Chains A and B, each alone.
Chain A
Amino acid sequence: MAAIYSLFIINKSGGLIFYKDYGSAGRMDTNDSLRLASLWHSMHAISQQLSPTVGCNGIELLQADTFDLHCFQSLTGTKFFVVCEPGIQHMEGLLKVIYELYTDYVLKNPFYEMEMPIRCELFDLNLSQAIQKDRVSLFGR
């Protein structure tokens, strides 16, 4: 029923700093999520090398049979990507909202160490609220 299945945040070296699952079938253990995050980081970089024209910033949308993956890369190299149902249009907006929450509740947190896993309560709280609001607006239509 979820529009979003999961959210990953990767630091600029490709390490996973945040992972939240919102309803995929089957469990993914920590090691698997770490591996997938690093794999995505590398493929994002390789896709820039294969571009036919200059100025490529990496994969923004990956479309598969059963899901879509939207990725947003900030100017500092931090990547936010969501796995969601195929065909959802407004994910770019949601990713920007998540990025704003990240800057407000993680980066401005004086106890947060850069590039380390995110353990900020306020971030989790506000993130759940934002996802909930998004889900309601999606299904309310």
Chain B
Amino acid sequence: MQFFGGSSVAEIAPSPAAPPGTATGLAGNNANMLYIFNRSGVCLLYREWHRPLHTLDPQQDQKLMFGLLFSLRSFTAKMDPTSVDKGNLGVPLLPGQGCSFYSFRTNTYKLSFMECPSGIKIILVTHPKTGDMREPLRYIYNIYVEYVIKNPLYVHGSPIKCELFNTNLDQYVKTLV
């Protein structure tokens, strides 16, 4: 399964820039929330731009999100109608193993998901009418690599506290349609 076939950071172009907030009228931002998890389930980053409803406290919410994604990946690998040997439900899957989902949509939000070969999972929650977010998620992964991984003071596996990363991320998310 090809993840980032051939494109380097310099070449990747973000999705066409639009004036902030044009699509949905939200003040400046079309995205609701962003989560980044590592492969053990530690939430490295949670950013929220527009979230009127908080059902659970942040810890529970992040655990629930990770659990949902874990189960959904297991579910899609087993449901895959094109593969003959699907393995067993409940067996933890390696990144890239089995069919994986990349987004789901409800009537109030759309969740886009990307899992990298290193096990880093990036989740972006947006307005339900948003288009395919796979390219923007790859771009966000590149921002993460540039400003977090290459930061010599960052300890892997710990929550992300890099100012430059946050600024660039906010700027980029503002341009998403």
Residue positions of A touching B, CB distance < 8 A: 5-6, 23-26, 28, 32, 35-36, 39-40, 42-43, 46-67, 69, 83
Q: A26-B85, A64-B101 are in contact. Are A47 and B79 (CB under 8 A)?
A: no
Complex CA distance for A111 and B70, rounded to whole angstroms: 41
Chain B residues at the A interface, C-beta cutoff of 8 Å: 32-33, 48, 50-53, 55-56, 61, 64-65, 67-68, 71-72, 74-76, 78-86, 89, 99-109, 111, 125
Known: A36-B89, A66-B99. A61 touches B84 (CB 8 A): no
**Assembly CA distance A28 to B65 (angstroms):** 28
Residues from chain A with a CB closer than 8 A to the CB of B78 are 32, 36
Is A83's CB under 8 angstroms from B53's CB?
no
- Beyond the given pairs A24-B81, A63-B103, 10 more chain A to chain B contacts, judged by CB atoms under 8 angstroms and listed by A's residue number, are A24-B82, A26-B84, A26-B85, A39-B89, A43-B71, A47-B111, A52-B33, A53-B53, A59-B106, A61-B105
A41 to chain B, nearest CB (A): 11
Q: Are A60 and B101 in contact (CB under 8 A)?
A: no
Q: Which residue of B lies closest to A4 (CB)?
A: B81
Residues of B within 8 A of A48 (CB): 106
Q: A25-B81, A36-B89, A67-B81 are in contact. Are A51 and B75 (CB under 8 A)?
A: no
By a CB distance below 8 angstroms, the chain A residues around B32 are 52-53
Q: Which residues of A contact B89 (CB under 8 A)?
A: 32, 35-36, 39
Q: How far is the CA of A133 from the CA of B83 in the complex (A)?
A: 27
A39 close to B68 (CB less than 8 A): no
Known contacts A24-B82, A26-B86, A49-B55, A63 near B99 by CB under 8 Å: no
Q: Chain A residues near B79 (CB, 8 Å)? A: 36, 64, 67, 69, 83
Cβ–Cβ < 8 Å partners of B108 in chain A = 51-57
Whether A50 contacts B64 by the Cβ 8 Å rule is yes
* A64, B53: Cβ atoms closer than 8 Å: no
B37 CB, nearest partner CB in chain A, Å: 14
Q: Measured between alpha carbons, how far is A100 from B51 in the docked complex, in Å?
A: 37
Q: Are A56 and B82 in contact (CB under 8 A)?
A: no
Contact partners of B56 in chain A: CB under 8 A: 49
Which residue of A has the minimal Cβ distance to B123?
A50
Residues of B with C-beta under 8 A to A46: 64, 67-68
**Known A24-B81, A66-B80; contact A49-B99, beta-carbon cutoff 8 A:** no
**Known contacts A39-B71, A50-B68; is-contact A67 B109 (Cβ 8 Å):** no
